Structure 1
Amino acid sequence: MKISSYKDNMAGEKMYKESYYNYFLEIDEVPVLVNLRTGAIAEVKRENVQKIKEILKGNIVDEELFEQLKYGGYIVEEGYNEYEEIKMRNYKARFDNSKAMFTIIPTFQCNFDCIYCYETKRNKIMTIEKAEEIADYIINISKNKKTISIGWFGGEPLMNFKVIEHINMKIIGESEAELFSSMSSNGYLLNYIDVSKFDELKIKNVQITLDGIEETHNKYRPLIGGGKTFDKIIKGIEKLFENTEKTNVSIRVNVGPENYDKIEELFEYLEKFPKERMKIYFRWIFQASEKNKDFHVHVRDFRKENSFTKLSKLYEMAINRGYKVMLPILNGDMYCEFDNVYNMVIGPEGEIYPCTVAVEEGMEMGKIENGKIKLETKKHLKWHSHNGYEDKNCKECKILPLCHGGCRNAALNGNRGCPEEKRETESFIKLWYKVKKFEKKMVVR
C-alpha cells in the first residue's frame, strides 16, 4: 500500500506504507492504535477511526492525521526496512560496552526450600579475599565508564551481607563511575541485618517474592527443614521502608493453581507500604529443572492456552488498587540483560556463568583470578551465538521488537524461548495500554 503526501510531493515525492508492527484494537470501548516498534500508543477519537483506516490503506483523507501517524511510526517510507532498524538497535544493545554490568552471587547457600527452586543446593560462599579480587576487577574495567550496575543474587545474598558491603563500599570509594545496585532476595533476613546501610550502599531496589497470601506462600516458600516465612518477610519489608529513603521494592508473585484465586487478598498485606516506592509483577511458576515434575505439570494444565489473559487479570487488579506494575517483556532492545556480551554472572569463587538460570555446575564459562578474567572462549561464543534475528519465524513475528528472539538459555537448550506474550499479543497490548493510561504517559495523542 502506498501513501503520498502533498507536502512531500512539493519537495520530491515520498511514498509511504503501513508499519508491519501496528495493532488497531478496541479496548474498553476506546479505539487504540499501537506500534510495537516505536512503542507509540494512541487513543483515537471515534470520528477519526475510518479516516485513519483509509490513510493506512494509502488514501490521504486528512493531512494532519497523516502527519501524526508518520510521527508515531504507524506509517513509514516505502523503502524503509523496519526489521533492519530493530535488528540494529538490538545489536547496539548487545555489544554496548559503555556501561559495566555484573550480577554477583555471594553465596549459593539459601535458608529457603522453595518447591519450584531450580538451583542445586551448594555450600559455596564468597570470602572477603575473593570479594576484594572481584571488586578490583570491576573497578579496573570500569575506567572511563559513567556507571557500574551490580545486581546481587543467590542462593540468598543476604546470607553473606558482609561481602555485599565490602564490594559496594570499595567501588563507591575507589571508582569514578556511579554505582547502581539492586538485589534479589527472599526478604527473610531483612529482619536480622542493618538495612539502614542500603542507602549508603547504593542499593536502589530489592526484589522480594511473595507467592500470594500466608497460606500459599508458606507452602511454596518454606524455610529449610520446614517453617513459615510470610510474616517475617512482611516485617522485613516494613523495616526496609522505615530505615531507608531511596530503596524501592519490587514484589514478584509466582503464580500457580493454588494461589491464583487468592492473589487479591495479598494486596491487603501490602497496603501499609508506600506505593510510590513499590512495583508488582506476576509470572507463572516455570520449570527450569527436573524437580517436582508433577507439580509443574499441574501448573501447565492450569495455565492452558489463555495463560497471559489470566495473568492480565492480576495486573489489572493491582492497577485498580493503585499499585505500579512492571511488564518484564518491556526490557529495551534486548530480551534480558544477559544478552549483552559484556554482562556476566560472577559466582562465589569468581566463576563466570552466562545468566542467573544457568548457574549449575558445568555451566561455568570462565573465572576471575588475581583481578583478571579468563574466559572459556568456546562456551562464551556458544552462549552469544544464538541470534533470533537470523531465525525465519522470529523475522516474521510482530512481537520481535519486544522480545528480540526470546530467551537465549531456552533456545540453546532446544526450545523456542518465546515469551508467553507472543501467544496472546492482543491481551498483552490491552494490558500495556491500561498500564500506560494508569501512568498517564500516553506516547501519542
Structure 2
Amino acid sequence: MSGFYKTFKIWGKSFIFLPSSMILFESNKDIEKMVKCAFEHPDEKSIPHNVKQLINIEKNTRKCLEQSKPFDDFINSIQINMINACNMRCKYCFADGGSHHKNSVMDEKQAKRVIDYVFEHIEGNLLSVVIIGGEPMLNMPVFEYILHYCKKKALEKNISVRFATTTNGTLFDVSNLQLLDSYNVMTMISQDSCDKNINDYLRCMANGRQSQYEILQRKKQLLLSQQKKRAAHITITPFNKNFAQTAISFYEEGFYHVHLDFVKSEVAEFLFAETDIAIIKEQLEILSRYIIECIDKNKIINCHPLTDDIKRIHNRIPRTRKCNVLDGLYAFSPEGNIYPCDVLMYDEYELGNIYTGMDENRLIKMREKFGKSEECANCWARYICGGKCFAEMQDSIKANQKFICIMRQYMAEITLYIYDYIQTNKPEYLDNYLK
C-alpha cells in the first residue's frame, strides 16, 4: 500500500478508511487534513491524542500484516468434480464446455477414495464441500453418494460438514431438490440475464434447440417453493452489462443471495473496454440503491461482493488472501487428481493425486507464484477484496486484470458505504450479517 489511509467520496458522503486496521469514519476537509498531518508529522503537538492512537493502530497493524502468513498444509475445503460433461455450451466457459478437455465420470468407488483421502488430511472442526462439474446434476447417483458418505465420515470424526453446489438449473426435479434440501446443500443456479435473447446467446444449450431461460422460468418456481435460502450466479460480460436489473429480478423472485463475478476469458468478444467502466459502476450503484431499500424494509438479502464482507469489516478481520486456494482448499477431478481449484483443473496445474499424494515441490512453487502481486501490495482495498485470485493471475491480458481491479476497488467503496449506512440508520439490521 502506498499510503496508510484512503479517502473517498461516494453518493455525497466523504470517508476516511484505514485499510490495515479496517477503521472507517465519516470525514470532511478538516478531519482529512488532521489525519494527513498525523501520518506525516506524528510528533506534531496540535494533533489530538485519539487521532494519534488511531494512526499508531494502523501502522502497527500494517507491520503485522506485512509478515507473510504461512500456508496451511491440511485440508478444510474441497471441490469435487464428478463429471467432465455439461448439457450446455456457454460461450465463455473456462472449462471447455464443462469437460476440461477430458471425458471422465466419477463413480462411487472413486468418490469414496477421494473422500477417504480428504478425511485423512483434514484439520479443524468444519469441512466445506462444493460439488461441481461440468453440470453436477448429470451424475446424481454419485452426487447423492458424496453427500451420504461425507456426512457419515464427518460424524465419525465429530466435525461439521457444509455442502454447496452450482448448477445451470435445467435438471431440477422434485426428487433431486428434496435430496439437496435434506442435506442442507446451499444451491446456486447460474443465469446471466433477465433478457431471454442475451441469456440464451451467452448460455446456450448443447442441443441447440432448447432455451435455458425458458427452462429456468419453470424450474425456479420449484426451487423457490421450498422456502429455503437460494442463491443465483451472474457472470458479468460485455453482453450483459445491465446486470443490475437481472440481480434485482432474482431478489424480487425470492432469491436470498446473488453472486456477481466477472467473466474469465481471453476471447476478444469477452474483453471489457475502458468505456465499460462507467457503465458497470452505474449498474453497481443501481443495485446498491436497491440493497439499501431492502435494508430500510428489513428485507434480508445478501450480495457477493457488495455485502458478504460486512461481517469482516465490522469485526476488523482483514482478508489476507482472495480465498483459501492452496491454503486448505483443493479440487479433485473424477480421476482423483488434485488441483488448486475448479477453474484450474488442467494438467499444468496438477498437484498430485489421491494415490501418491501431493507433489510438495509443485505445491511450494505454486504457492510462491500465488503469493506475489505488487499491484495488490500497494492497493488500499487489498484487505477487503483479498487480492487477485490464483486463476485471475494466470490471465495474460493485463487490461483484463486492470479492469477487474478498478471494479473491485469501487465495489469495496460501496461495501464500506453500505456498512456505514447500516451502522448509522439501521444498526439492528447488522445482526443479519453477523450471525
**The one of 108, 127, 132 aligned to 2:107:** 127
CA distance in 1, matches of 2:350, 2:251: 39
Residues 76 and 250 (structure 1), Cα distance of their counterparts in 2 relative to 1, 3 Å cut: farther
Which region of structure 1 is more displaced relative to structure 2, 409-418 or 34-43?
409-418
CA distance in 1, matches of 2:246, 2:126: 40
**The one of 249, 261, 285 aligned to 2:230:** 249
1:355 aligns with 2:335: no
2:222 counterpart letter in structure 1: K
User: Who wins on radius of gyration, i.e. which is larger?
Assistant: 1
1:408-436 CA-partner distances (Å, limit 9, x unpaired): 24445667795746436763343122332
**The one of 324, 328, 346 aligned to 2:302:** 324
**The one of 102, 115, 120 aligned to 2:91:** 115
Structure 2 equivalent of residue 178 of structure 1: 160
1:197 aligns with 2:179: yes
Check whether the contact 1:308–1:428 (CA below 8 A) recurs between aligned residues.
no
1:29 aligns with 2:12: yes
- Gaps spanning 5+ residues in structure 1: where? 1-17
SS of the residue corresponding to residue 188 of structure 1 reads coil
> 1:425-436, aligned counterparts within 5 Å?
427-436=410-419
1:41 aligns with 2:24: yes
Structure 2 equivalent of residue 95 of structure 1: 72
Structure 2 equivalent of residue 381 of structure 1: 364
CA distance in 1, matches of 2:119, 2:72: 20
CA distance in 1, matches of 2:142, 2:174: 16
Structure 2 equivalent of residue 4 of structure 1: none
Residues 116 and 220 (structure 1), Cα distance of their counterparts in 2 relative to 1, 3 Å cut: same
Check whether the contact 1:281–1:325 (CA below 8 A) recurs between aligned residues.
yes
Check whether the contact 2:336–2:354 (CA below 8 A) recurs between aligned residues.
yes
TM norm structure 2 = 0.78
Structure 2 equivalent of residue 313 of structure 1: 285
Q: Give how far 1:282 is off.
A: 2.7
1:191 counterpart letter in structure 2: D
Check whether the contact 1:152–1:183 (CA below 8 A) recurs between aligned residues.
yes
> How many residues get paired?
399
Greater share of helix = 2
Q: Give how far 1:242 is off.
A: 2.6
CA distance in 1, matches of 2:224, 2:354: 35
CA distance in 1, matches of 2:34, 2:395: 48
> 1:410-425, aligned counterparts within 5 Å?
410-411=392-393, 418=401, 420=403, 422-423=405-406
Check whether the contact 2:165–2:188 (CA below 8 A) recurs between aligned residues.
yes
CA distance in 2, matches of 1:91, 1:264: 40
> 1:255-274, aligned counterparts within 5 Å?
255-261=236-242, 263-264=244-245, 267-268=248-249, 270-273=251-254
1:304-349 CA-partner distances (Å, limit 9, x unpaired): 5557635533542542553432118959321222141x32100112
Residues 427 and 96 (structure 1), Cα distance of their counterparts in 2 relative to 1, 3 Å cut: same
Residues 139 and 263 (structure 1), Cα distance of their counterparts in 2 relative to 1, 3 Å cut: same
**The one of 183, 201, 219 aligned to 2:201:** 219
Q: Give how far 1:405 is off.
A: 5.1
**The one of 148, 171, 177 aligned to 2:127:** 148
1:221-278 CA-partner distances (Å, limit 9, x unpaired): 1211222012332433432333364xx333221223332236426634641315xxx1
